[in-house]
A = this chain, B = another copy of it.
Amino acid sequence: MLSLTEENYLKAIYHLSDGGSKSVLTNELAEAMNTKAASATDMIKKLAAKEFISYEKYYGVNVTSKGKSEALMVIRKHRLWETFLVEKLGFTWDEVHEVAEQLEHINSHRLIEKLDEFLGYPKVDPHGDPIPDSKGKIKLQPQITLDQLKAGYHGKIAAVKDSDSNLLKYLDKIGAKPGTKIKILGKEDYDESMEVLINDHRVFISKEVSQNILVSE
């Protein structure tokens, strides 16, 4: 059984490692957790002792398969709760993250299965991120950010990065929700800003914004 803090560290490691595909450095982790490197080292040792990660001094950490499934369960809970907050309680998608950060640590297998059922077994959360199933299986979507594409591209918004509430508010304002069709009308070479078509509206977006929009097709 992991403590709340251990769970948060493990989740951060999982995300920073892109789902376990690369190793994570102590400083990266410390920054993500808003702590100091010394604290991260302490926690790394603890998680390594419990075999959720593997760790070679000075060379960073890797998530074990045990760690992966544990992290995926936390992510499952987080995303199911986010879905609940938006679908059932009428939260806007920029409000949910903080609360879901708390709810994801509630420990009850039965609760999460019942919640999943209540929500109708959703496949993605309100930001378009896939929800791992009860076995921890997750559908990794091809993650291309909009900024990597050229004028003329058209496709669908698959997801948006859910880090910052202000960004989410802005994306909501311009109609950039998962599922919406999007087309790049033009791209400025100088700063990589672009004009896009969303819901028949022409919008100018900066590179900073286009980096946070994930598209498919």
Binding site for B on A (CB under 8 A): 85, 88-91, 95, 98-99, 102-103, 106-108, 110-111, 114-115, 117-118
In whole angstroms, what is the CA distance A111 to B85 when docked? 8
Contacts of A114 in B (CB 8 A): 85, 89-91
**Copies, count:** 2
Contacts of A85 in B (CB 8 A): 111, 114
Query: Are B88 and A111 in contact (CB-based, < 8 A)?
Result: no
In whole angstroms, what is the CA distance A5 to B117 when docked? 32
Contacts of A106 in B (CB 8 A): 99, 102-103, 106
Q: Mostly helix, strand, loop or mixed at chain A's interface?
A: helix
Q: Which residue of B lies closest to A107 (CB)?
A: B102
- Given contacts A85-B114, A102-B107, 11 further A-B pairs with CB under 8 A are A88-B118, A89-B111, A89-B115, A89-B117, A89-B118, A90-B114, A91-B110, A99-B106, A99-B108, A99-B111, A103-B106
Minimum CB–CB distance from A64 to chain B (whole Å) comes to 27
Most buried by B among A90, A106, A115: A106
